Structure 1
Amino acid sequence: MQISKGVEWAAHAAAMMIALPEGRGLKAEALARYHEVPTAYMAKQLQALSKAGIVQSSRGAHGGYRLAKPATEINLWDITAAIEGTGPAFRCTEIRQNGPCGLKRKDCKNPCQIASAFTAAETAFRDMLKATTLAELGAQVVQDSEQEHLLDVMGWLNAEAVPLGKSVARC
């Protein structure tokens, strides 16, 4: 299973928003600059997070993004699903029914063992992502980071955070 760069970028952007002061947000351009990624692509990820209700956005000179709910209520599955969708990673095509020794459809009463194994693995993967909140990740970053780096990040946030105007309805 491969997770797209968009999920990584969205998770990092959301994690940056944890520390935003009330009433302030970050522009897509600022987040893209901070992570050295293309602005248009970062904006696309933020729009997907907005549509999923993970972030809220404001337009215009006083526009930007901030978390739409507490970081304790956002998990990595929420972010992954917002960017990549909720469909299964593995889709069984019943290949066991193909070829010279293929099973007849009527003989496929039980699920394919291979499909079942992939489904179980994907369920465990999703459950792990659901059990990992943005708040927990933020706390780990603070715990694992040098104080000087945290001060640099907070200085950047204070310099880049903009006062937000009216929130825009989610897409």
Structure 2
Amino acid sequence: MKFSQATDYALHAMLYLISAAPDKPIGVQFLSEKLGVSQTYLSKMMTKLVKAGLIQSAPGAHGGYRLRKNQDEISFLDIIQAIEGTASLFECSLQHGSECLIQQVVIEAERRMEDYLNQTKLADVAKKLPTEEKHAHS
């Protein structure tokens, strides 16, 4: 199982937003430089986070992105689903008259992973950043 690179960038971008002052949006240029990704690619990813209601965009010369939800409420699952969607990771390719036993196992594993990712808040991870990384994210 593998998440896309966009999810990796989204999680890191959200760490930058959590570390920023709430009244000071972070620009896409700053984020793209810090993450080493093009502004165009990052903008598309950030649009998904805006549509999911996790962040908001502020237009203008001093605009950028800031958190929309309380940082203690944002889970890894929220961010991953905003980027990857909510489709199941596994779909049985055989047409059974009853439920696929293999699919049942995989769906249960997926449910457990989703529970863990939902319980893991980005703010809790941000608190564990070493001091020098916290300053790098602000």
Question: Contact (CA 8 Å) 2:22, 2:66: kept in 1 or not?
Answer: no
Tell me the equivalent position of 1:90.
90
Kindly indicate whether residue 7 of structure 2 is the aligned counterpart of residue 7 of structure 1. yes
Segments of 4+ moved more than 3 angstroms: none
Q: 2:136 aligns with which of 153, 159, 168?
A: 153
Any unmatched runs of 5+ in structure 1? 98-104, 158-171
Tell me the equivalent position of 2:119.
131
C-alpha offsets along residues 52-91 of structure 1, whole Å, 9 cap, x if unaligned? 0000101121210011011111000000000011111111
Q: 1:24-39, aligned counterparts within 5 Å?
A: 24-39=24-39
Distance in 2 separating the partners of 1:26 and 1:74:
18
Distance in 2 separating the partners of 1:19 and 1:7:
19
Tell me the equivalent position of 2:19.
19
Q: Percent identity?
A: 33
Bigger radius of gyration? 1
Q: TM-score, normalised by structure 2?
A: 0.92
Q: TM-score, normalised by structure 1?
A: 0.75
SS at match of 1:65: strand
Could you say if the C-alpha distance between residues 77 and 36 of structure 1 is closer, same or farther in structure 2, counting changes exceeding 3 Å? Answer: same
Distance in 2 separating the partners of 1:28 and 1:37:
10
Any unmatched runs of 5+ in structure 2? none
- Bigger relative contact order (CA 8 A; separation at least 6): 1
SS at match of 2:65: strand
Q: Which amino acid aligns with 2:25?
A: G
